[in-house]
Structure 1
C-alpha cells in the first residue's frame, strides 16, 4: 500500500519469515511493532553473550543476585570473547542482527553505567560512568548497528522496549499478561516488577498502532484521489480514516494510563540508571571512546527514550501540528534519528504528503475550495472538524499524561536535571504539550466551534474547556519547577 504521491510501501503482509528484510517495517497490521515477534534465543556461537546476559541483572531469573547487584559486571565483560567475526556468518539474517544489537546494547549500557548504579545504591550522586567501551563490546555493537540501521548504543525500538518482549504462550498472542521481557537490568525478568511493567506497557500501547497507520493511509488516500472524485464520497472516506485513527489513539491512551499500576513511581529511578544516554549527561562529560571504532575519538548518543516512539510523531505530521522555534524543538528533531530507518522515512513521507495534499485545509474546510454547499456535505464537514479536534485532544491527552509521569516518576524522585535521552526534564515535554493546546485553541476559534451553524457540539466544548484549564495549570507547574530548580522557564 503506497502513500499517495510517493514510492513508500506500507506493508499489509509483514512476511514474518523473510530474514532479508529489517525487523522494523511499518505495517497496517502490526503498526510500529517489529514485523515478527522478537528473536529470543541466540545461535550457540553466542553462548558466552547469553550466559553473561542471564547472569547480569540485579535479580536473575532464578531470583539470585546477579553481577549488577555485586558490581562484578565490569570484570566479567573483560572475559568475554570478541565475536565480531562470528556476526559476519549471520549478516544476511537482519532480524537476528537486530537481536544481537539488542543484546550487545544491553551489555554496553550496563557496563558503562554500572559505577553510577553502585553509587545510586549507596544513596550517593551518580558520579561518573565508564568512558571506555572495550573491543569485545564496541566492535560487535557497532557492526550490528551498521547492519540494522541503528546507532551503536541502546535505542527504544530496536533494543530496550519494542524488540525486547517474548510471548509466554504463543497461542495467546500480544495480551499484556502473556508478555515477558527477554532482557532486563534490575528485576524485570519478574513480570510483576516495575521494570517489566514500564517496558511492557509500551509494547501494549504500540500493539494498537496498526489501525493508526491504516486510518492514516485511508485518510491520505481519500485526498490523493481528488481529481474527479465525488466530494461526498471523498469526505466520507476521509472521515472514516480519521475515525479509525481516533479509535486506536483512545486505546493507546487507555493502555498508557495503566502505567501507574504496573510500574511504580518510586521504583523507576533505580532501573532508570541503566537507560541513560551519553549526550548531555553529567555521567559522560567527555562522551565514550569505543575501542577500535571512530579512530579512538569519543562519541555521544541520546540513547533510549520513550520520546522515540513513532505514534505521536505520526500524529504531529498527519495533523500538521506546528512546534515553536526553540532549542527544545531542536532536541525533538534530533530524536528523529533514533528510530528504525523505515519508521523515520515513513514519518517524513507522511509529513510531506499531508502538506502536499492540504490535509488540514481539507479537514477544516475554511478554504473556499473546500466549502460545503449541500446539507449532507455541511454535516460531513462538521464531522471532519469534530474528528480533527478530537484527534488533537488525544495527542494532548498523551502528552499531558507523559508530563504527569515526568512529574511523579522523575521530578518528585530525583534532582538529576535531564531525562534519559538528554532533554531537560522541566521544560522539554511542556514545549510540545503547550504547542498542541495552542493549536487546539486556534483551530476551535477559527472554525467557530461553539457558535451557530458551525457549532461542534457539547463534546468538543468539554474538550476545549479541559485544554484551557490544563494550559493554565501547565504554565503554573512549569514556572514552579523552574523556580525551584533554577532553570530558565523558556528553556
Structure 2
C-alpha cells in the first residue's frame, strides 16, 4: 500500500498534486473560464442567472471521458462554482438548472465519480495555488483561485482548510507505514510513527484555531456559507433541482459542500479502529463518503480493511506505545471539539437569530450539535 496509489503524498496529503492556475483548459472553455474568473462581478450585478444562461454548452460528453484528470478536475472547480452561483445568486432558487450548465456539469461529475454540484474537493482540495512558485506551500504563500463573492473571510475559510489538509499528509503517510509496521510486529517503529503523528496534529490544530482571525462568524454565515448549500433537505428547493435534459426530468436532491467531506478524520478512524454507533450524523457522514473523490474513498476503505494497529497496540504490553496511540485518539477528539465550537459560533448562534430557522442543521443538512458531541465523546472513550 503506497500513497501514490491514491494520488496522495506526504507533502500535500489529500490536496491536488497540481496547482489549478497552471492547468490550461482547451479553447472551448474560454467563455466558461472568463465567467468563472469574473464571477464575483456577475454576482454583484444582481443578474448572475441572466449572464450564466448566455454561456455556450461546450459539449463535454466525449472530452470528459478522455481528457487528462487534472483538466477535468479544474473544469469541475469552474463549473461547480457557476452552478452554485446560478442556484443561489438570486433571492429565490430556480426549479431547473439550464441545460447549458447541467449537461457539462454532469459529464464532468460522471467522469470523476462525484455528484454534479460543488464538492469539498472542488471548493478546497483543487482550488488553491502558491503565490510564489519558488517558495513552499504555506498559509502565507497560498491563495484561493476560484471565488464566489470574494473577500478575506471567504478566502481565509478555504485557506485554513488547505493548510490543515497539507499538514495531514504526514498522518496519511504514517498511517500506511503503521499498517506495515504493526503487521511486522515492530513496536518501536509504531511508537515512533505515532509520536510523529502527534506532532503533526499539533500543527494542524495550530492552523485550525486561527480560523476566527480573518473569518468572522457573522460574515461567514451570511456571505460565505449561502453559496455552498446543496439541494437536499432544503425547503427552498423542496425535493431537489431538475437538471434540464437529464435524469428523465427527476429532481436531484444532493448534499451541499461541507468540511465533513474531508477525508482526514475518517481515515484516522479507519486506522485507529474507532467506531461510532448509529445516529443521524453517522448516517449523514456515511452518505457523504460517496461525495469524496474516488481515490480518497478507496484510501479510507483500504486503511480500514488492512489496519490491525489497535489490536497490535492493545496486545503489545508496551505502555509507551499505548500512550502514543492514545495521544493520537485524543488529538482527533480535540479536533472534533474545535469543530463543535466552530459549529456553535459560526452556524448555531448565527442561525438562532433568524425566525423559523433550525439552528441545529449544519451545512449540507447536518444534524450537528447533539451528534458532534456524541461522536467526540465516542472517539475519546475508545482509548486503549
What's the TM-score once normalised by structure 1's chain length? 0.73
Task: State the match for 2:14 in structure 1.
Answer: 32
Q: How many angstroms apart in 2 are the aligned matches of 1:112 and 1:89?
A: 23
Deviations 1:337-392 (A, max 9, x none): 111100101101111112xx3x2122123xxxx4x4xxxxxxxx111111122101
Deviations 1:90-117 (A, max 9, x none): 832111011111111100011011124x
Report the 3-state secondary structure (helix = DSSP H, G, I; strand = E; otherwise coil) of the residue aligned with 1:28.
Answer: coil
Q: 2:116 aligns with which of 123, 145, 152?
A: 152
Bigger share in helix: 2
Task: State the match for 1:352 in structure 2.
Answer: 305
Q: How many angstroms apart in 2 are the aligned matches of 1:295 and 1:163?
A: 31
Alignment of 1:3-402 (within 5 A): 9-11=2-4, 25-39=7-21, 41-57=24-40, 66-85=41-60, 88=63, 91-116=66-91, 128-157=92-121, 159-188=122-151, 193-226=152-185, 234-269=186-221, 270-354=223-307, 357=308, 359-365=309-315, 370=316, 372=317, 381-402=318-339
Q: How many angstroms apart in 1 are the aligned matches of 2:331 and 2:64?
A: 46
Task: State the match for 1:484 in structure 2.
Answer: none
Q: How many angstroms apart in 1 are the aligned matches of 2:276 and 2:201?
A: 21
Q: How many angstroms apart in 1 are the aligned matches of 2:169 and 2:369?
A: 32
Report the 3-state secondary structure (helix = DSSP H, G, I; strand = E; otherwise coil) of the residue aligned with 2:12.
Answer: coil
Q: How many angstroms apart in 2 are the aligned matches of 1:430 and 1:338?
A: 24
Report the 3-state secondary structure (helix = DSSP H, G, I; strand = E; otherwise coil) of the residue aligned with 1:34.
Answer: coil
Runs of 5+ unmatched residues, structure 2: none
Report the 3-state secondary structure (helix = DSSP H, G, I; strand = E; otherwise coil) of the residue aligned with 1:223.
Answer: helix
Report the 3-state secondary structure (helix = DSSP H, G, I; strand = E; otherwise coil) of the residue aligned with 1:80.
Answer: coil
Runs of 5+ unmatched residues, structure 1: 3-8, 13-23, 58-65, 117-127, 227-233, 373-380, 444-491
Q: How many angstroms apart in 2 are the aligned matches of 1:182 and 1:42?
A: 15
Task: State the match for 1:468 in structure 2.
Answer: none
Deviations 1:381-440 (A, max 9, x none): 111111122101111111000011011111111244322221124324223212113324
Q: How many angstroms apart in 1 are the aligned matches of 2:304 and 2:213?
A: 35
8 Å Cα contact 1:329-1:431 kept in structure 2: no
* Number of aligned positions between the proteins: 376
Deviations 1:237-285 (A, max 9, x none): 1111212222212211111111110211121011210001111122221
